């Protein structure tokens, strides 16, 4: 079997186009454009690249963006005060603190300081709590992007065996919840799991979000499985690769998300969709 690749770039672009068209309708009716505030603390090079990608995506969608690039020495209380100002600014619809934060800043405190209606990363207690209850809310972008890819491919999760590798608050846990709400039977593999490959091999839908380069090899993949690779790593040659060994997934899976061009473009597309949702709920 040779897997078919899922084109996350195309699906993500479709979502971004829809967002742009909806915003154009609002602005044509005389409303102000949505606005996203991105807060970057410190000078982590990868975070700087991610922030500039977000600014570019916003510009393309018709979303205003304001990037606040704060020095690495910014104190937690200064950052919290900054968020309070943005919470009270009615011209700001979304607030996104770029993670990871420097060590001296407690990310949980920062995320929970954001007005839940502006929490476009969907990570606050409020939005994660509503996810648990399967109520409308801002959903975390990467897990929401994975679900959109499955939907786009016409995969009905109901009754399927889904295995998620990873249990982070950012990806693994919310994705497990979304898959459960889509009526999959969900199993989690994490760093303390024994015989992970045996568990993974039971999956009709296998999602790798462990942050371990090429962790998933042939031994982990059931023939015909849908394999979603969330991981992002640089090879020694400077190319991007994922948590899944691509040749092994191509040989065994029915569908596979490449890295790059799979889940990555969906994350940014869902961020744009969340900005629109945050803006529209205020109208």
Q: Which residues are tagged catalytic?
A: 54, 98, 121
15 binds ligand NAD (CB under 6 A): no
Out of 170, 205, 255, 270, name the contact with ligand NAD by CB under 6 A. 170
The footprint of ligand NAD on residues 226-255 (CB under 6 A) is 230-232
Question: Which of 36-44, 52-60, 82-90, 166-174 is the region at the interface with ligand NAD (rule: CB under 6 A)?
Answer: 166-174
40 Cβ contact list (under 8 Å, min separation 6): 47, 48, 51, 67, 68, 69, 70, 98
Number of residues that bind ligand NAD (CB under 6 A): 24
Q: Is 215 among the residues that bind ligand NAD (CB under 6 A)?
A: yes
Q: Is the Cβ of residue 87 or residue 168 nearer to ligand NAD in the bound state?
A: 168
- Cβ distance to ligand NAD smaller for residue 94 or 145: 145
**Site membership for ligand NAD, residue 162 (CB under 6 A):** no
Q: What share of the chain is helix, strand, coil (3-state, %, to 5)?
A: 45, 15, 40
**Does 221 sit near ligand NAD (CB under 6 A)?**
no
Q: What is the CA radius of gyration of the chain?
A: 19
Which of 41, 146, 150, 165 binds ligand NAD (CB under 6 A)? It is 165
Q: Report long-range pairs for 76-84 (Cβ below 8 Å, ≥24 apart).
A: 76/104, 76/105, 76/106, 76/109, 76/110, 79/39, 79/41, 79/105, 79/110, 80/109, 80/110, 80/113, 82/39, 83/39, 83/110, 83/113, 83/114, 84/113
Q: How far apart are CA 274 and CA 272, in angstroms?
A: 5
As a whole number of angstroms, the distance between CA 139 and CA 175 comes to 10
Residue of 12, 62, 143, 172 that binds ligand NAD (CB under 6 A): 172
Binding of ligand NAD by 267 (CB under 6 A): yes
Site for ligand NAD in 109-148 (CB under 6 A): 142
97 part of the interface to ligand NAD, by CB under 6 A: no
Instruction: Report the interface residues with ligand NAD, using CB under 6 A.
Output: 142, 165-168, 170-172, 189-191, 193, 196, 209-212, 215, 230-232, 263-264, 267
């Amino acid at each position: 079997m040779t897997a078919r690749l899922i084109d996350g770039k195309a699906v993500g672009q479709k979502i971004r186009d829809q967002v742009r068209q909806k915003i154009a309708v609002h602005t044509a009716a005389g409303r102000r454009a949505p606005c996203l505030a991105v807060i970057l603390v410190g000078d982590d090079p990868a975070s700087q690249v991610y922030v500039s990608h977000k600014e570019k995506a916003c510009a393309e969608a018709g979303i205003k963006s304001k990037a606040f690039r704060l020095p690495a020495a910014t104190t937690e209380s200064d950052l919290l005060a900054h968020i309070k100002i943005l919470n009270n600014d009615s011209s700001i619809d979304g607030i996104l603190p770029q993670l990871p934060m420097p060590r001296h800043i407690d990310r949980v405190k920062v995320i929970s300081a954001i007005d839940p209606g502006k929490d476009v990363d969907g990570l606050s207690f409020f939005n994660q709590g509503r996810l648990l209850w399967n109520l409308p809310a801002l959903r975390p972008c990467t897990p929401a992007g994975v679900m959109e890819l499955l939907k786009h491919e016409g995969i009905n999760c109901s009754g399927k065996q889904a295995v998620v590798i990873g249990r982070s608050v950012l990806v693994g846990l919310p994705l497990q919840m979304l898959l459960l709400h889509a009526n999959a039977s969900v199993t989690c593999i994490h760093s303390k799991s024994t015989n992970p490959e045996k568990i993974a091999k039971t999956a009709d839908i296998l999602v790798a979000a462990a942050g371990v380069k090429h962790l998933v090899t042939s031994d982990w993949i059931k023939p015909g499985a849908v394999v979603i690779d969330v991981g992002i790593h640089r090879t020694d040659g400077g190319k991007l690769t994922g948590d899944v060994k691509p040749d092994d997934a191509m040989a065994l899976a029915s569908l596979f998300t490449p890295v790059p061009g799979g889940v990555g473009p969906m994350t940014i597309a869902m961020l744009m969709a969340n900005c629109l949702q945050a803006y529209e709920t205020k109208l």
